Amino acid sequence: MAKTGMYVGLDIGTTSVKVVVAEYVENQMNIIGVGNAKSEGINRGIIVDIEKTVQAIQRAVRQAEEKAGIQIRSVSVGLPANLLEVESCQGMIAVNNDSKEISDDDVRNVSSAALVRSVPPERQIISILPQEFTVDGFEGIKDPRGMIGVRLEMFGVVFTGPKTILHNIRKCVEKAGLTINEMVITPLALTESILSDGEKDFGTIVIDIGGGQTTTAVMHDNQLKFTHVNQEGGEYVTKDISTVLNTSFNNAEALKINYGDAYPERTSASEEFPVDVIGKSEPVKIDERYLSEIIEARMEQIFNKSKEVLNDIDALSLPGGVVLTGGAASLPGVVDLAQEVFDTNVKLYVPNHMGLRNPVFTNVISIVDYSANLNEVYQLAKSAVTGEKSVPQAQPEAVVAQEVHYEEYDNADEEEYTEPEQPAGESVKDRVKDFFSNIFD
Q: pLDDT tens across 3-28, in order?
A: 678 999 999 998 899 999 999 987 88
Q: How far apart are CA 192 and CA 42, in angstroms?
A: 26
Q: What is the mean pLDDT of residues 352-369?
A: 92
| Burial class of 208 by CB neighbour count within 10 A (0 to 12, 13 to 18, 19+) | buried
Count of beta carbons in the 10 Å neighbourhood of residue 360: 24
- Predicted pLDDT at 396: 43
The answer to whether residue 389 scores a pLDDT higher than 80 is: no
pLDDT band at 388 (very low <50, low <70, confident <90, very high): low
Axis crossing angle, helix 186-194 with helix 362-372, rounded to the nearest 10 = 80
Backbone angles phi, psi at 335, to 5 degrees: -65, -40
Tell me which of 85 and 394 has the higher pLDDT.
85
- Predicted pLDDT at 430: 43
- Predicted pLDDT at 426: 43
Query: Which percentage of the chain shows pLDDT scores above 70?
Result: 87
The answer to whether residue 436 scores a pLDDT higher than 60 is: no
- Predicted pLDDT at 439: 41
What's the pLDDT tens digit per position in 287-297?
Answer: 999 999 999 99
- Predicted pLDDT at 50: 94
Q: What is the mean pLDDT of residues 296-319?
A: 96
pTM of the model: 0.84
SS3 of residue 328 by DSSP: helix
What's the pLDDT tens digit per position in 202-240?
Answer: 999 999 999 989 999 999 999 999 999 999 999 999 999
Distances (CA, A) of 439 to 83, 89, 260, 314, 333: 19, 14, 39, 10, 33
What's the pLDDT tens digit per position in 160-185?
Answer: 999 999 999 999 999 999 999 999 99
The answer to whether residues 130 and 160 touch, using CB atoms and an 8 Å cutoff, is no
Report the mean per-residue pLDDT for the chain. Answer: 87
Tell me which of 393 and 255 has the higher pLDDT.
255
The answer to whether residue 327 scores a pLDDT higher than 80 is: yes
Strands (E) located in 299-382 = 322-325, 346-348
Tell me which of 437 and 48 has the higher pLDDT.
48
pLDDT band at 431 (very low <50, low <70, confident <90, very high): very low
pLDDT band at 141 (very low <50, low <70, confident <90, very high): very high
Count of beta carbons in the 10 Å neighbourhood of residue 268: 12
> DSSP class of residue 210?
-
> Which contacts qualify for 23-32: CB closer than 8 Å, 24 or more apart?
24/372, 24/396, 27/1, 27/2, 29/2, 29/353, 29/368, 29/369, 29/372, 31/353, 31/354, 31/355, 31/356, 31/365, 32/67, 32/68, 32/69
- Write down all domains in the chain, each with its CATH number in brackets: 85-162 (3.30.1490.110)
73 Cβ contact partners less than 8 Å away, ≥ 6 residues apart:
178, 179, 397, 398, 399, 400
The answer to whether residue 414 scores a pLDDT higher than 70 is: no
Q: How far apart are CA 159 and CA 394, in angstroms?
A: 20
Amino acid found at 219: M
Backbone angles phi, psi at 287, to 5 degrees: -90, 160
- Predicted pLDDT at 407: 35
